[in-house]
């Protein structure tokens, strides 16, 4: 799931939805000694767990939501990031939050950066209390000019991985949402 990300040569990597750190540890194993991993985790208990159990000077745990990504990255002195990994359940987020998060990526992802979204239930969406069909790949193509999709069968449950590059300008994204 990490293969599409240029972590080995990265200066700054972002993980959104770090949870208890399974992917955090894997990212740190690949990250250069002078790199930085910004791990966003909205759940305060998980954020505290990461801070006390993943002891690596390259890790900065940020107890904030995904739609504050650009602000938090810039607040820490970084102009852009090289890679973003997200495990957020985009189909189960409110539409406004999902759009805000995806819109933030274009403002921080470097020119050759990669955004990877992985999901287990990528075709389901919760809207107005009802489960509906959700086309994540169509959504991502509104924000990125390149979206590659792959299924990882070795993962249990199998994971759907979407590797996205070249964010579209915000003007283009806005016109697609209208």
Model confidence over 27-75: pLDDT tens digits? Answer: 999 999 999 999 999 999 999 999 999 999 999 999 999 999 999 999 9
**DSSP states of 14-34:** EEES-TTSHHHHHHHHHS-TT
Confidence of residue 153 (pLDDT cuts 50, 70, 90): confident
117 forms bridges with which residues in the sheet? Answer: 86, 162
Residue 66, classed as helix, strand or coil, is helix
Model confidence over 101-143: pLDDT tens digits? Answer: 999 998 899 888 999 998 865 454 455 565 556 678 888 999 9
**What residue ranges do the domains of the chain occupy?**
7-177
Of residues 139, 87, 78, the one with CA closest to residue 109: 78
Task: State mean pLDDT over 140-157.
Answer: 84
Q: Do 143 and 103 form a contact (C-beta atoms < 8 A)?
A: yes
**Topology at the third CATH level for domain 7-177:** Rossmann fold (3.40.50)
User: Does 178 have pLDDT greater than 50?
Assistant: no
Query: Can you give the pTM of this predicted structure?
Result: 0.87
């Amino acid at each position: 799931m990490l293969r599409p990300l240029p972590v080995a040569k990265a200066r700054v990597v972002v993980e959104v939805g770090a949870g208890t750190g399974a992917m955090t540890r894997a990212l740190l194993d690949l990250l250069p000694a002078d790199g930085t991993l910004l791990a966003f985790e909205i759940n305060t208990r998980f954020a505290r767990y990461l801070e006390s159990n993943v002891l690596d000077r390259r890790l900065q745990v940020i107890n904030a939501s995904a739609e504050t990504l650009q602000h938090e990255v810039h607040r820490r002195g970084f102009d852009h990031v090289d890679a973003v990994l997200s495990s957020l359940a985009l189909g189960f987020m409110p539409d406004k939050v999902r759009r805000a998060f995806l819109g933030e990526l274009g403002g921080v992802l470097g020119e050759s950066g990669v955004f990877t979204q992985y999901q287990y239930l990528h075709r389901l969406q919760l809207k107005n209390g009802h489960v509906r069909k959700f086309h994540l790949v169509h959504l991502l193509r509104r924000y990125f000019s390149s979206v590659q999709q792959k299924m990882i069968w070795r993962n249990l449950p199998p994971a759907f991985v979407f590797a996205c590059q070249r964010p579209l300008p915000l003007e283009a994204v806005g016109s697609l949402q209208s």
